[in-house]
Structure 1
Amino acid sequence: MVKHDGNQAPAYEEEEEEERVWSWGAGTDGQLGTAKLQDEHLPQLLSLTSLASISMLACGGAHVIALTSGGKVLTWGRGNSGQLGHGDILNTCLPKPVSFFDDYVITQASAGWSHSGFVSDSGCLFTCGSGSFGQLGHGDNMSQTSPVKVSYFVDKSVKMVACGMRHSLVLFAGNQVCGFGSGKRGQLGVSSDRTKSVNLPCVVSGLEDVEVVRIAANGDHSAAISADGQLFSWGRGFCGGPDIQTPQCLPSSQSFREVALGWNHALLLTVDGEVLKLGNTLNKQSEKQPLQVDSSEALLEKVPDFDEVKVLQIAVGAEHSAAVTESGEIKTWGWGEHGQLGLGSSNDQTSPQLVSLGNSDLRTKEMKVYCGSGFTYAVRRKQQLSSSPTST
């Protein structure tokens, strides 16, 4: 940055903003990438030696997947089921390249509780980790310590994978959605309510005529967003409501562009930058009041404290939430036991609170936030800046 005195505003000349990555929350399995096996209640700035040019992160139960702009894959955190894809069942407290993908370009990934999914630029799907419920889609209940190609999708051009607690969703060519893994709460979206689990992909019922552009999974919930901004959800009912066996369209006049699922709640982001919620952000048993409703409409609420503030992105962990505003600020709320809110304590918060990232410059507004079950990541991406000197 160009130095300036107190009488002159800063000047910038085609300056490249530095990429930065922070993590906080539960860290005892190495998922924070700090090389320390401990929780962190405040954002920790990470070394970017191995995390340069991040294109996306995926955070799971206690592991993290990072994709670089060149399509390479790094993973770290809990590896007890092989979910890191390194060929072993060891935890890794620092980002480590997944050598299996050295000859592939990976464009999208998702992290479940103890399994992982990866999509290549050629439309292939690879999975690894726990397969005890069939969530890897290989036709068995075996776990895999290295990524294995899911043969069902070899000629189907996969667009996106979403990993939940013990199930997986896949969006592929023709805007079709498949599910596999645990289905006891209806999260696979098949018509039979007797389906406890499947280990091969099965087509989700009721979306055949819907142009699906995004899918999401977490806990025992599943969701999809259509090209015209409608939200479809299925699986475990929110707020004690009945489980939903096949996708149901949320009756709303709003148009949605993003959905993030937790264990007991969901966040929805409208095309206008408003944030709405379904269910309970804090699932305290003493406060939990089952609602007898016929649709999700009665459960849809606007998140407080975002009036006249446009939100660009949302993320959800097990029971905490995060959002990035138009000004580049990150706000968090919900469960805070492990410090996953990044506010310096383990207190819960019922409304969005501003997370301080130290002296980070937010002029780029290129902030992204990602939530694992009990931890959070923030990424400020590189961006070219250009402006002229200005005198006061």
Structure 2
Amino acid sequence: MRKSVLILLSTLLAVTGMLGLPQSSVSARADTAVSVTVSPSKPVRGVTFTVSGKLPTKVTRPVELQAKVSGKWKKVASGKTDTKGTFSIKATTTKSSLSVRVVAAKTKVGKKTYANVTTKTKKITTVAPAMSATKATPSKPIRGESFAVSGSVNTKVVRPVELQAKVGTSWKKVASGKTDKKGKFSLKSSTTKSSLTLRVVAPKTRIGKVTYEKLVGKSMTVKTGAVGGKVVQVVAGDSHMCALLTNGTVKCWGNNENGQLGDGTTKRRSTPVKVSGVSGATALTSYGHTCALLAGGTVKCWGPNWAGELGDGSTQHRSTPVKVSGVSGATALTTGQSNTCALLAGGTVKCWGDNGHGQLGDGSTQLWSTTPVTVSGVSGATALTTSYTHSCALLAGGTAKCWGYNESGQLGDGSTQHRSTPVKVSGVSGATALTTSTDHTCALLAGGTLKCWGNNWYGQLGDGSTQHRSTPVKVSGVSNATALTTSQNHSCALLAGGTAKCWGYNEYGQLGDGTNQHRSTPVKVSRVSGATALTTSQNHSCALLAGGTLKCWGNNGDGQLGDGTTGERSTPAAVAGVSGATAVTTGLNHSCALLSGGALKCWGWNYYGQLGDGTTQDRSTPVTVVGLG
């Protein structure tokens, strides 16, 4: 009997396996074991969340998201599974908690009928909309200068926000804006107060069908820079900056590998640090090292000391200032690559440091001097200028003497012989100013004419040739100059009326005439009028205009023109976001502007933090130097 039953079952299996069951009778089972996932696990009220999961039926079929409302299930969103049975449905809610499930109704796909599938119920707990802690940048703004208050709200939609300041017992709106799609905001304001209590408010608003309730951020107190912390002078070194403040102290920032910031460390700084042991400073000068002229005419220097350029009797680098030996009654300072000179009351000059080409002017063949020596044959000097390896003194009556390196004739005595004692510059009288570059020198004469001498590879002497000149030649086409500036291979003159002319090297458009052609005679700088000052760097130039705006032109690879781009400009471009400027200076590939309120803005190359904004990110628009107050 048992054997007969087994034979019968085997026969039935063989028949059904061969013929199959009728297709219309095949159906999938409901599977309430299916779970769903909610992302984020705790959604923000009013912000979209996602409910996802996977059905056991691997076909594309409709699904709907249901929420339990007053004991009943109600459809709130719908969608479809993919061919693997996976679904993802988006929804929002303003409730503090919500029970949801996903239902796939009985459906027929082709010849197959799929049974209803209902997932497990998932309880969702939501969180209230909130605002993150806000912060001010810079953390200690200069009074009257713009600062930003930034933060975010977790309602990730574009919505209005406003910055409020506490006035008495009330809150007053001082700025407004909107969040971005991620809920982030940044609001700008300024104040003349020493401190200010602020908060950010996101007003109640309706976007689409969702109403977002009012959000009030936590209040914060912003303290501003103290009065007396205003900048009165800024100088650019190779890769660092220093600022003289109205209270006679000095702050520096940027590269510090040889102690050139004067704070007792060799750590580079992207924000200003106070120079130790300097008070009563009246002027600064900088190259690789920095020196401060102090009230009473003494001098302190710090930084690299390769050849005794700090003047303290050693060749030891100094990360804090040292007093220069044997100098008193100084009225002005200049620095070269590794040497320093001081103009003294009475018109004599002392120099110290590197003397490899006679640049100390004392007649010696000693390679360096770690203490100051008196420059021979100079008396009645009224001004002093020092370049890479040579120096010149303007004398009473408008004559000039130069000494040091002379390979290109930059001493102006008719020779190319290096001079360890000053020589008179031929053919110069009535000079009112001198300026030196690496290998050439220029003089501004009474009446507004100019003379230049030395290296002339690119026409930087402005006489229509590219022949080096060991005696001064007249710069062509300039008769009403009021100021003069020289860089390594080009020169610029400020003219009466506020226009400018430049000549020499022009590969990057630094002459501002709309070309990249070197010029051996001066060309007019395009689109500059009302200029009150000029400055030149190696490959870019800038003009300070009446009203305190700026224009720059030339190389812009690091954003040193400040126009928001990094493309070179052969005609001047307006520097963005600067008004009320009173002075401008240029470093190798960065620029800085001193503002009327005593603040400082910089832009361009920032590898060492020399822009002073707390970062090492190059900037193509000006940023405020923080922490000067």
If the length of structure 1 is used for normalisation, what is the TM-score?
0.69
The reply on whether 1:82 has 2:385 as its aligned counterpart is no
1:75 shift after superposition: 3.3
Amino acid at match of 1:212: A
Other-structure match for 1:304: 576
> Which position in structure 1 is the counterpart of 2:430?
157
- CA shift, 1:38, in A, is 4.4
Match of 2:376 in 1: 100
What is the aligned partner in structure 1 of residue 553 from structure 2?
A: 278
Q: What CA distance in whole angstroms lies between the structure 1 residues aligned with 2:574 and 2:519?
A: 23
Query: 2:469 maps to which residue?
Result: 198
Write out aligned runs for 1:140-151 (5 A): 140-151=415-426
**1:167 pairs with 2:440:** yes
Tell whether the 8 Å contact from 1:21 to 1:46 is kept in structure 2 after alignment: no
Q: CA deviation at 1:61?
A: 3.8
Give the letter aligned to residue 318 of structure 1: L
Task: Quote how far apart the aligned CAs of 1:357 are.
Answer: 7.9
In the alignment, which residue of structure 1 is the partner of 2:499? Answer: 230
User: 8 Å contact 2:558–2:604 — kept in the other structure?
Assistant: no
Task: Quote how far apart the aligned CAs of 1:169 are.
Answer: 1.0
Question: Take 1:79 and 1:320, find their aligned partners in 2: how far apart are those partners?
Answer: 30
SS at match of 2:508: helix
Tell me how far apart the structure 1 counterparts of residues 325 and 434 of structure 2 sit (CA, whole Å). Answer: 28
Whole-Å separation in 1 of the counterparts to 2:476 and 2:626: 44
Deviation at 1:98, TM superposition (A): 3.2
Q: 1:110·1:161 contact (CA, 8 Å) conserved in 2?
A: yes
How far 1:132 sits from its partner (Å)? 0.2
Match of 1:122 among 391, 397, 406: 397
- Give 1:329's aligned residue: 599
3-state DSSP of counterpart to 2:543: strand
Structure 2: state its 5+ residue gaps.
Answer: 1-225, 228-246, 249-279, 290-303, 510-515, 560-564
What is the CA RMSD across the aligned residues, in angstroms? 3.8
Aligned match of 1:132: 407
Aligned pair partner of 2:583 in 313, 317, 325: 313
Contact 1:264–1:283 (8 Å) recurs in 2: no
Shift of 1:163: 1.0
- Cα distance per residue 1:114-134 (max 9 Å; x no partner): 211110122110101110001
Which moved further from structure 2: 109-118 or 122-131?
A: 109-118
Question: 1:112·1:218 contact (CA, 8 Å) conserved in 2?
Answer: no
Is 2:480 aligned against 1:211? yes
Deviation at 1:99, TM superposition (A): 4.0
Note the alpha carbon deviations across 1:339-361, whole angstroms, 9 max, x for none: 766779987554545557877xx
More strand by share: 2
Shift in Å, 1:246: 0.4
Deviations 1:207-265 (A, max 9, x none): 2xx21111111110111111221111000015161101100111225211211111111
Who is 1:180 aligned against? Answer: 453
Q: Which amino acid aligns with 1:197?
A: H
CA contact (8 A) 1:135 1:167 kept: yes
Instruction: Give the TM-score, by structure 2 length.
Output: 0.45
Separation (CA, whole Å) in 1 of partners of 2:472 and 2:451:
6
Q: Deviations over 1:283-306 (max 9, x none)?
A: 79xx99677xxxx4xx31222342
Question: Which residue type is aligned with residue 522 of structure 2?
Answer: P
Q: Does 1:19 align with 2:292?
A: no
Cα contact 1:160–1:171 (8 A) shared by 2: yes
Contact 1:332–1:354 (8 Å) recurs in 2: yes
1:201 Cα deviation from its structure 2 partner: 1.0
Bigger drift between 48-57 and 133-142 goes to: 48-57
Cα distance in 2 for partners of 1:337, 1:57 equals: 28
Secondary structure of the structure 2 residue equivalent to 1:151 = coil
Shift of residue 281, structure 1, vs aligned partner: 5.1
Amino acid corresponding to residue 459 of structure 2 in structure 1? G
| Secondary structure at 1:239 match in 2 | coil
Give 1:174 shift: 3.5
Partners of 1:66 and 1:314 in 2: CA distance: 24
Percentage identity across paired residues of the two chains: 26
82-91 vs 132-141, greater mean Cα deviation: 82-91
Conserved? CA contact 2:393–2:400, under 8 Å: yes
SS of corresponding position for 1:300: strand
CA distance in 1 between counterparts of 2:352 and 2:593 reads 24
Aligned twin of 1:112: 387
- What is aligned with 1:369? none
Q: Which residue pairs with 1:13 in the alignment?
A: none
Aligned to 2:208: none
In the alignment, the residues of structure 2 paired with residue 52 and residue 324 of structure 1 have an alpha-carbon distance, to the nearest angstrom, of: 30
Relative to structure 1, the CA distance from residue 355 to residue 269 in structure 2 (aligned partners, 3 Å threshold; closer, same or farther) is same
Classify 1:251/1:345 alpha carbon distance in 2 versus 1 (closer, same or farther; 3 Å).
Answer: closer
Q: Distance in 2 between matches of 1:336 and 1:201?
A: 38
Secondary structure of the corresponding residue to residue 237 of structure 1: coil
Q: Is the 8 A contact 1:25 1:340 kept in 2?
A: no
Letter in 2 for 1:169: C
CA contact (8 A) 1:268 1:276 kept: yes
User: Which amino acid in 2 is paired with 1:206?
Assistant: G
Q: Deviations over 1:254-281 (max 9, x none)?
A: 2112111111111211232222211125
Q: Residue type of the partner of 1:302?
A: A
**Is the partner of 1:26 in helix, strand or coil?**
coil
Q: Larger relative CO (CA 8 A, sep 6+): 1 or 2?
A: 1
2:382 and 2:394 map into 1 onto residues whose CA distance is: 6
1:366 maps to what in 2?
Answer: none
Q: Distance in 1 between matches of 2:449 and 2:321?
A: 40
Q: Return the alpha-carbon distance in structure 1 between the equivalents of residues 456 and 436 of structure 2.
A: 13
The number of residues matched between the two structures is: 327
The whole-number CA distance in structure 1 between the counterparts of 2:310 and 2:606 is: 16
